[in-house]
Structure formats: C-alpha cells, structure tokens
Amino acid sequence: MHANALPYIIMSRNIRILWMVFMVLPAASLLAQSADRVDAILAADPLSLGDAAYLAVMSAGRIDPEAGSGEAMAVLGSLAVRAEHRDRFSDRDLQADATLGDLAYMLMLAHDISGGFWYRRIPGPRYSVREMRFRRLVQGQSYALQPLSGERAMRVTGRVLAMTEQRR
C-alpha cells in the first residue's frame, strides 16, 4: 500500500459513515412521527373520523406514513365506486367522531375486501359492519353507529391485516 493512499482510505471510510448517518436520520424521524401518530390514535376515545381514515388507508399501504387525514379521505373518495358514496368522504368533518361503521366501510374500501350480497348492492357502513362481523374481524357488541375508540380501531385493523396476509 502506498503511503499517500492511507489518508484517502480513512477519509473515504469516514465519508461513508457520515453518508449513512445522514441517510438514516430522516428515516428515523419519519418512523418516530408515525409512531407518535399511532400512539395518539391508540389513546383517542372517541376516535376522530380523520384518524380512522388515516388508519384504514395507511394499513393498506395506499399512502405514506407522513400523509395527513385529508389525503386519506381523498384516497377513500377515489376508491368509492358510485358518486353518492364519494360524497360520503368529501364533505365530512375530519374532527367528527368516527363510528364502527365508518371504520368498517373505510377498511373494506382500502383493503379491497369484497362483501356479501347486501354490501355489493348497497355498500356502506351498515353492511360493512355486518360483513366484518360475519368474517369475525369485528368481535363483541357491534353495530354501525357504535362510537369507536382508538384501541378497538387498532384491534379491528390488526385482524383485517391478518386476514389480508392469509389471502396472499
């Protein structure tokens, strides 16, 4: 090895380490940001409609973790088949309380879960809850207008993720 090559090797090693540090730090802050968001969702009682939309669309991988609730609602609106169902997402207050039916309908849209006979004819919160109860994704007392806590939303979302993994 040439005597002049040693400082170059040491310097290039330090540059590689610095480059790795600068690449990892932004990713760590994104993970911390989404972890904070998940903690806030878990602690919410009742869960807001915007957080329910974020949870449903984010769990399906349709938006980035740093995206907002408005973007999640826009994605759900684009996934709705009929115009009257798109309106269900366009003019809603993101801070309004979410119901179990809202979350069930959002999860079925975001994860492209096919429903039963009535859901295919009249897609919406009522038949989404019925379909998810049939598939045992929603457990315990469940009806479409039931208030929703963040903890229950996470449990339901976890079951949906487990079911979609089994389908693959």
Does residue 27 form part of some domain? no
**The pair of three-digit structure tokens given for residue 50, joined into one six-digit string:** 């915007």
Does residue 11 form part of some domain? no
| CA 8 remoteness from chain centre | 47
Does residue 19 form part of some domain? no
Q: What is the structure's pLDDT at 18?
A: 45
Among 151, 149, 131, 152, residue whose Cα is nearest residue 140:
152
Q: What is the structure's pLDDT at 21?
A: 46
Does residue 4 form part of some domain? no
**The pair of three-digit structure tokens given for residue 42, joined into one six-digit string:** 């878990």
Does residue 60 form part of some domain? yes
* Domain region containing 64: 44-167
**pLDDT tens digits for the chain (168 residues)?**
555 555 555 555 555 554 454 444 444 433 455 678 888 888 888 999 999 999 999 999 899 888 888 899 889 888 876 655 666 677 788 899 999 999 999 999 999 888 888 888 888 889 999 999 999 999 999 999 999 999 999 999 999 999 988 877
Does residue 21 form part of some domain? no
Q: What is the structure's pLDDT at 26?
A: 42
Q: Can you spell out the DSSP letters for 57-104?
A: HHHTTSS-TT--HHHHHHHHHHH-SSHHHHHHHHS--TTSBPBHHHHH
| Burial class (CB within 10 angstroms; exposed 0-12, middle 13-18, buried 19+) of 17 | exposed
State residue 48 phi and psi, 5-degree precision. -80, 155
Does residue 77 form part of some domain? yes
Q: How many independent structural domains does the chain possess?
A: 1
Does residue 17 form part of some domain? no
CA-to-CA distance for 80 and 113, rounded, in angstroms?
Answer: 12
